[in-house]
Structure 1
Amino acid sequence: MVAADFTERSLDLDAEKEMRLVDNGLVTRRSILPGGIRVLTEEIPHQHSTSVGLWIGAGSRDEAPGSEGSTHFLEHLLFKGTKKRSAKDIAERIDYLGGGFNAATAKQYTCYYGHVFDEDLFDGLDLLTDMVTGARLSAEDMEMERGVILEELAMYNDDASEVAHEAIPAMVFQNHPLGRPVGGSRESVTALSHDRLTAHYGSKYRSNELVVTAAGAINHDQLCDDVLHLLEISGWDTSSPAVPSERRYASQIEYAQPTRQHLNRAVEQAAVVLGMPAMDLFDERRPVIFALNAILGGGTSSRLFQQIREERGLAYSTYSFPANFPEGGMFGLYAGCAPDNVSAVSELLGACLDDLAANGVTQDEVESAYRRVRADIIFDAERISSHMNRLGHAELIRGTLVSQDEQLRRSRAVTAEQITELARQLASGPRSLCTVGPQG
């Protein structure tokens, strides 16, 4: 087992099968179990609860043609019953354990998670493991849940902001799988067959794809024993060599040329999103784009908020956002406004970026940006669910675990010149504009 204090560095998670790390006094451990199951824990002193998650390294990006929406569909169906629990049994058990159970589907992974008292950790793990390994996935359940998912998609389709944020990745990323809506479309969900759904489950829900993360009141060795025991009785393979599935990436993104799209919706508030190519997840300038994001659209003193809301009163909500993936990235600017103001707001979004690129940022803005990024890092670390999520993201997506002090050091090192240079690069690239609202 590797024992290390990695306070001022990042650590390669693929270097060893057993690791014990120390970051600001917190002990983080990683083990690869038989069957290729990965278990990562972070013990946090003085906690009386544990956040635990079961992760599968497959999201909407990984769906085969004709199976779009199947990852999100499975998330729903795993709550509909297993070989030993009905849907009602699952619901009653969730409430009995405190109600802190849910699931999330993303472009790169699916996670089933719960927050329980330390004394209930085994029961919570048993419930989650049963759902992931023993899902009934009956054709009847699928047809019942299809209607629920279509209602969910219809709900989002009535929200101009949701529609715009779903549409802009496809415009910037062209036909890349990362441009797909996570939940699929009404057409793909309606057409999805039971055979394709179960085939997707069979290909992705396996021992060597499973990652278990936990943070809080946790005993790493006991958790490893419990995971192996529960998977053995479920019938999943725990006898093959400890070789996890390789981290899954798609091809590099080939960005689209500038394009404009208006989506007609009968809403009282329109949505405007300006999107452009940005760096990938592994680019060393990620701390720079976080600082740029804070200055341009990350708070009430940001350029977008001051220009669009405070000085002109054209929007209630306006902000910017980075989206970084291993295969590429995007930077976006958003505002929600009255339909009559869409044209003016669209121009202002681009103008704020252009002004920053042309005239740079002040040292006061750099300091304010650092303090906001620092708050995001530190405040996020005070939630045990964030520790659990951090471990899952590191294992499945980044392949490295970056210490809190190292994150702060990189953020502190960002300069005004770096921010201006990155703004110039973004401003000179192709921009795509998506507007959602009434026709005309």
Structure 2
Amino acid sequence: PWCARLVRAPAAGHRCVHVGTRRLRASKAATEVILNVPETRVSPLENGLQVASEDSGLSTCTVGLWIDAGSRYENEKNNGTAHFLEHMAFKGTKKRSQLDLELEIENMGAHLNAYTSREQTVYYAKAFSKDLPRAVEILADIIQNSTLGEAEIERERGVILREMQEVETNLQEVVFDYLHATAYQKTALGRTILGPTENIKSINRNDLVEYITTHYKGPRMVLAAAGGVCHDELLDLAKCHFGNLPSAPEGGLPPLPPCSFTGSEV
């Protein structure tokens, strides 16, 4: 029937707008879905670290640490350090050997992983909700107590160099690196995540420690979790395991160099 549709007569230069019953039903359904989304709760620690969670009441959860410390925060000399650190994350801590860490995660039925982007480095775990405290403690141990052993550094250096060779044969990866280099010419966003080969061959333990000391600060971190997560419990865990992380030093964190979009033909 005509009343099931609202029709607005078009003014000069405007197109006609129709709102049918099907669209109204879709809008209502979308509203209901939005209303069922768990509330996002965010709480800061005194050192600047943010704690965020969404509790959907599941029996599993995902918890991770998002750190503003990707390749954008590097310079030409240390480009590739953030990604190198990611490779070193699960190679042992002062508390756990690499084997101990792998067995603990396996016995929990959990999954531990990390990745590096131009903007961030992320360490995260997928686990049963009951194991949230252990997952958070493991993440804290990894980013604060990694041994960064010389033998492991040399081993991962070889792994990264082989990874770079594989990336060079991946047309999609190559194109996107060229796109960034073209779009953000002579700025940090134009650099690759893996860094140049000469940097990977020369990065040493002191470079890794310096990068952690400079960038792994409370104000640059977010501990986020979703699934079967109690926010108050997560906040208490954050205070326990991350409360002693340094905040911004006097004078503030190192300034992030501006990145302007240039663009041109590739």
TM > 0.5: yes
**Which residue does the alignment assign to 2:262?**
255
Runs (4+) off by over 3 Å: 22-25, 245-250
**Which residue does the alignment assign to 1:123?**
134
Alignment of 1:421-440 (within 5 A): 432-433=265-266
**Which residue does the alignment assign to 2:222?**
211
- What's the CA shift string for 1:12-62, capped at 9, x where partnerless? xxxxxxxxxx954512111011221210111113x1111101111111000
Q: Structure 1 residues 83, 24: closer, same or farther in 2, change over 3 A? A: same
**Which residue does the alignment assign to 1:158?**
169
After superposition, the CA RMSD in angstroms is 2.3
Contact 2:75-2:188 at 8 Å conserved across structures = no
**Which residue does the alignment assign to 1:438?**
none
Choose which of 146, 168, 192 in structure 1 pairs with 2:203: 192
**Which residue does the alignment assign to 1:37?**
49
Letter paired with 1:80: K
- Is the partner of 1:29 in helix, strand or coil? strand
Letter paired with 1:255: T
TM normalised by structure 2 equals: 0.79
1:168 CA drift (Å): 1.9
Contact 2:63-2:136 at 8 Å conserved across structures = yes
Partners in 2 of 1:236 and 1:147 — Cα distance?
31
Structure with the larger RCO, 1 or 2 (CA within 8 Å, 6+ apart): 2
Choose which of 105, 110, 117 in structure 2 pairs with 1:94: 105
Alignment of 1:218-229 (within 5 A): 218-229=229-240
1:142 CA drift (Å): 1.4
Partners in 2 of 1:203 and 1:83 — Cα distance?
21
Partners in 2 of 1:94 and 1:226 — Cα distance?
18
1:86 CA drift (Å): 0.8
Alignment of 1:28-427 (within 5 A): 28-45=40-57, 47-231=58-242, 236-237=245-246, 249-256=256-263, 258=264
1:254 CA drift (Å): 4.5
1:247 CA drift (Å): 11
1:151 CA drift (Å): 1.1
Structure 2's unaligned 5+ residue stretches are 1-33
TM normalised by structure 1 equals: 0.49
1:172 CA drift (Å): 2.3
Number of aligned residues: 230
Contact 1:57-1:248 at 8 Å conserved across structures = no
Contact 2:110-2:128 at 8 Å conserved across structures = no
Q: Structure 1 residues 236, 174: closer, same or farther in 2, change over 3 A? A: closer
Letter paired with 2:206: D
- What's the CA shift string for 1:319-342, capped at 9, x where partnerless? xxxxxxxxxxxxxxxxxxxxxxxx
